[in-house]
Amino acid sequence: MKVTVVCEYNESMSSPEGVAAYPEGLGVCLKEMFGSFGYETTLITYDDKRHAEELTEEVLKNTDVLVWWGHWYHKHIPDAVAEMVADQVNKGMGFIVLHSGHHSKPFRRLMGTSCNLIWRENEENERIWVVNPAHPIAKGMFPYVDIEHEETYGESFEIPEPDELVFISWFRGGEVIRSGCVWNRGRGKVFYLRCGHETDPTYHNEKVREILHNAADYVKPVMRIDAYAPDHRPEAPEGKF
């Protein structure tokens, strides 16, 4: 299986907290994680100068699961790239969106809503409650996964009703948010996982890594198509009988 990780670099990753959380870099951590699951994984990095130019249609067509982490520089991704990602999801590609990627162009394009939420950077405890223990992404996570230090997000999270709700997170400050959601789009599946602030070592947490392994396996293509079905039928099928 081929995984492409698109990960932003921003200056907070070079702060003492950012370097302590991911000495290797957040993007490299994600690449190595999906590689350790046995997937052929490629990393594409963008920032205030780079615009993920390497993410071409050809690359997307050869990607089974696209993973997206972004925060400061969502606007540096061209609209055409968001359109290409949405097109490939509709044709069967799996898409995993992480943390502040809730505001990324491809995710908003696929959701059709603002995807706004409330947030506080306070390094408090997140408890990820499993609300669907039978869901394949939640395998091994029941009843909850604790993350000691994370950024707080909260409802209202302006997303369309998830087709499958897997996790709801609670935070020490009292906020709750739908933190593990699946949507079907065309032939493809989209999974959003909330946790993963760039100055917290969340993606080194074994349980979070297991969730992402389960998720990649769950959203991988079932039926990939090259073209959409035609939107008209020149001849009625009855005419052939």
Q: How far is the CB of 183 from Zn ion (least distance, A)?
A: 22
Looking at beta carbons, which residue is closest to Zn ion? Answer: 197
Closest CB 83 distance from Zn ion, rounded Å: 26
Q: Please, where are the H alpha helices in the chain?
A: 16-21, 26-36, 57-61, 79-90, 105-111, 206-219
Q: Which is nearer to Zn ion, 151 or 175 (CB)?
A: 151
Smallest distance from Zn ion to CB 67, Å: 16
Beta strands in 131-237 (DSSP E): 144-154, 164-171, 176-185, 188-193
> According to the binding rule CB under 5 A, does residue 200 interact with Zn ion?
no
Backbone angles phi, psi at 226, to 5 degrees: -90, -30
Please, which of residues 46-105 interact with Zn ion by CB under 5 A?
Answer: 100
Site for Zn ion contains 194 (CB under 5 A)? no
What b-and-e string marks burial along 49-71, b requiring 16 or more CB atoms within 10 Å of the CB? Answer: eeebeebeeebbeebbbbbbbbb
Q: Does 151 contact Zn ion by CB under 5 A?
A: yes
Query: Considering only 12-20, 87-95, 193-201, 230-238, which stretch makes contact with Zn ion by CB under 5 A?
Result: 193-201
Question: Binding Zn ion by CB under 5 A: which of 197, 205, 215, 216?
Answer: 197
User: How big is the chain, counted in residues?
Assistant: 241
CB of 142 to Zn ion, least distance (A): 26
For residues 17 and 87, which CB has a smaller minimum distance to Zn ion in the complex? 17
d(CA 93, CA 85): 9
Give 11-14 contacts, CB < 8 A, sequence gap 24+: 12/72, 12/198, 12/199, 13/198, 13/199
Q: What's the min distance (Å) between Cβ of 119 and Zn ion?
A: 7
- Complex with Zn ion: residue 123 or 210, whichever CB lies closer: 123
**Is residue 196 within 8 Å of residue 69, measured between CB atoms?**
yes
Number of residues that bind Zn ion (CB under 5 A): 3
Interface contacts to Zn ion, rule CB under 5 A:
100, 151, 197
